[in-house]
Amino acid sequence: VEIGYRPRVGGLMDPRMGTIDRNFRCQTCGEGPGDCPGHFGHIELARPVYHAGFIVKVKKILECICVNCGKLKADEGDVTFRTLTRRTDNPKRRLQVVWEYCKGKMLCESDDVKEEEEQDPDPDLKKKPSHGGCGHIQPLIRKDGLKLFLVYKKGKGDDEDEDMKTGQPERRLLAAVDAYSILRKIPSKDIQLMGLSERYARPEWMILSVIPVPPPPVRPSIMSDSLRSEDDLTYKLADILKTSATLRKHDAEGAPAHVVAEIEQLLQF
């Protein structure tokens, strides 16, 4: 944090975030401790983590979209769906309506044309607007604390050999980095249909990839005689910084997956 008694640039007491020591001036605004309001910094995490306040919302959005292509599972050509979305102007209510419509869909419908239609196309029939999905089977999404799991249902005719062929595990942990990648795939029109905003409330922003660091005036050091102790918030930020650095180091060194996963969970909590 400090070199001797001088705050270190790039540390948690970076002089660019402000100062609480009358012997130093803020390197951002040039003011002393009495006039500098403090300036926020940030920590870039080695891996994204779930935000405790948004994980329920993230789960709900993931249940509305395909976990493979990111497209909304609802068919815009469905009269019922169009009616529901048109009647709902409130963005918060709209997400609830879309979720209730999509949560039971276990398949991302594709544009594959049936063989009968290819052999005997009827020009008099109006073509139904296609969904444009990828045809991927959709899992159930379960929440356990600050973890999300993908649970694939077995069909009646499924056996162990078929499960091996598909490569789809029955229950798989959905890491925050994977959820982040899925949410980034959502098309702009689907974001609006869910009542979100592409400019102000993109779904992937609900997953933390950067942690804000409050300035020193928010978490001042405590001086007692010749001893100096830091605020509890500073100690917690130091733990996050160290864990993120350890995770980044293991990633670079190619550590085993279970070791990386363990450190990633430590960063999450």
Tokens of 101: 């419509």
3-state DSSP call for residue 62? helix
Residues 85 and 151 in one domain: yes
Residue 121 within any structural domain of the chain:
no
Given a cut of 50, whether residue 44 has pLDDT beyond it is: yes
Please write the tens of the pLDDT for every residue from 147-194.
Answer: 999 998 765 555 555 544 555 558 888 999 999 999 999 998 889 888
Please write the tens of the pLDDT for every residue from 120-138.
Answer: 555 444 444 555 678 888 8
Report the predicted TM-score, pTM, of the whole model to 2 decimal places: 0.78
Residues 139 and 231 in one domain: no
Residue 163 within any structural domain of the chain:
yes
Residues 183 and 226 in one domain: no
Domain containing residue 173? 52-112+130-206
Q: What are the helix (H) ranges across the chain? A: 55-62, 79-87, 91-102, 115-119, 160-166, 176-184, 188-193, 232-253, 257-268
Residues 89 and 173 in one domain: yes
Residues 40 and 77 in one domain: no
Residues 60 and 16 in one domain: no
To which H or E segment does residue 48 belong? strand 41-50
Domain boundary residue among 180, 206, 232? Answer: 206
Domain boundary residue among 152, 173, 206? Answer: 206
Q: What pLDDT, on the 0 to 100 scale, is given for residue 124? A: 47
